């Protein structure tokens, strides 16, 4: 199974949200590939020259910025959409889960 064949973590049954979840999962997987040298050799970052570490740090900062922007936009979209969707079991579970995790009452 390739990295693009990974089973999605969350399926809501809504095409746009599920597509965004797939994109989000891909962004998360990309974090593990910041350092090509480490990926190929398994060596620690401390063994890399400073310019290589700086390059990885820059790539990581860019990926984290992309991830944060995507997360903010996705959850704002998802929450507004979930309020308008029918009360299917999948939607209720997906929408209520974050509320329960925050400890708020339903």
The pLDDT profile of the chain, 106 residues, written as one tens digit per residue, is 344 555 667 787 878 888 998 999 999 888 888 888 787 888 888 888 899 889 999 999 999 999 999 999 998 988 887 777 667 777 666 655 544 333 444 3
Q: Can you give the pTM of this predicted structure?
A: 0.63
Cβ neighbours around 103 below 10 Å, total? 6
Sign of CA dihedral 86, 88, 90, 91: positive
Q: What is the pLDDT of residue 99?
A: 40
């Amino acid at each position: 199974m390739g990295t693009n064949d990974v089973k999605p973590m969350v399926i809501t049954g809504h095409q746009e949200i599920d597509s965004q979840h797939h994109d989000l999962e891909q962004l998360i997987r990309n974090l593990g590939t910041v350092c090509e040298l480490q990926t190929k050799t398994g060596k620690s970052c401390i063994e890399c020259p400073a310019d290589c570490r700086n390059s990885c740090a820059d790539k990581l900062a860019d990926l984290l910025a992309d991830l944060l922007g995507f997360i903010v936009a996705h959850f704002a979209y998802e929450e507004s959409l979930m309020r308008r969707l029918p009360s299917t079991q999948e939607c209720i579970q997906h929408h209520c889960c974050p509320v329960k995790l925050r400890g708020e009452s339903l």
